[in-house]
Copies of this chain bind each other. A is one copy, B any other.
Amino acid sequence: MLEIDLDRRRVQVRRLEDGKSWWEHFDQLHIATGADAIRLDLPGGDASGIHAIRTLQDGIDLRREVDEKKPQHAVIAGGGYIGLEMAEGLLARGIQVTLIQRSSHVMKTLDPNMAAPIADALRKAGVELYLDEPLRGFETKGGTVRAVVTDERTLPTDLVVVAIGVRPNSQLAQQAGLALGEEGAIRVNERQQTEVEGVWAAGDCVESFHLVSRRPVYVALGTVANKQGRVAGINLGGGYATFPGVVGTAITKFQDLEIARTGLQEREIQELGWAYVHDTIESRTHAHYYPGAAPIRVKILAEAESGRLLGGQIVGGKGSAKRIDILATALHAGMTAEEVAYLDLAYAPPFSMAWDPVHIGARMAKKKV
């Protein structure tokens, strides 16, 4: 698609085979243009050996290069979800990994005290980690990357993965005159309709409504895109469905360390100017006397006075991270920390403690309300 003409309700399309283009009328239009990996315009940035990971093909290309060129060393720029996954994958292939992070801690969607054990795990796995060091450029030779440059150092490398996030692919919508939100994603209502009737949008190109902050938010995640796509499809087909919104849930892992978050983190709550309390507890994934129990750290954030749950973060061993769904569900329901502390959660020694770590976290946070 080349252009959207909302007034005449038509789109200009081009057939890739022969380059021929024409205008096509629409009754209903669905925009699902997704997101692109952010690529910085840096010196040497177009050299070969530099990868951004967004599509399946990106992954295939990276794997092929690893298989063929057998790089000894890789630098990953960005310690978020993709950066961590890439670190795990490259380490598993015997490649030495250096990770540079623009800000002061990896996994910026978690608070610093929850990100600390992740940095520890990266270092323990042999990752050379440099925090507070934004990517400044690349040294190249013969069109191939040779080193990554930060303010502090030059890191010789055979391979670079730039994993510094995505941005909505919303140019088409913008050129058509559709409203975009602060982060450049398309504004939609609960039915996934843009401000123009019969023009729908869903997935990584749109804004979502955050049920905790009660503000629009940009979340580019597959599970959200799936739900929104379903809602848009039902409405586009003449049915009726609404997407209730998100609470900011996300999950990943680095080797044996599971990581999850939901709701608002401290930085987000501070930006809203809300008064809050929080506590972080250490427990075990299940009864200590049953084999396989691992440490788990749970952080709970709640609104001061009301005690309303605002968010939670979990970092720990096997069996830790999916517990975030308890907190995500509680956020949807608008529960207080007190209510979470007495939920009838499943307990048996292979699965939990009599007080689930989530109970304990909620109880401790509640004490501060």
Contact surface of A with B, Cβ cutoff 8 Å:
81, 211, 221-227, 243-253, 258, 260, 262, 319, 321-326, 328-333, 335, 339, 342-348, 350-352, 354-356
Contacts and interface: CB of A to CB of B under 8 A. Distances in A.
A295 to B, nearest CB: 17
Contacts of A331: 344
Contact of A246 (B211, B326, B344): B344
This chain's copy number in the assembly: 2
Contacts of A339: 244, 332
A284 to B, nearest CB: 14
By DSSP majority rule, is chain A's interface helix, strand, loop, or mixed?
A: mixed
B243 A346 contact: no
28 contacts: A81-B348, A211-B344, A222-B354, A223-B345, A223-B346, A223-B354, A223-B356, A225-B354, A249-B345, A249-B346, A250-B346, A251-B347, A253-B348, A253-B350, A253-B351, A260-B346, A262-B346, A322-B322, A322-B346, A322-B352, A325-B325, A325-B326, A325-B343, A328-B345, A328-B346, A330-B333, A332-B333, A332-B335
Nearest to A352: B322
Contacts of A330: 329, 333
Contact of A329 (B222, B343, B351): B343
B223 A347 contact: yes
B322 A344 contact: no
B355 A223 contact: yes
A81 B350 CA distance: 13
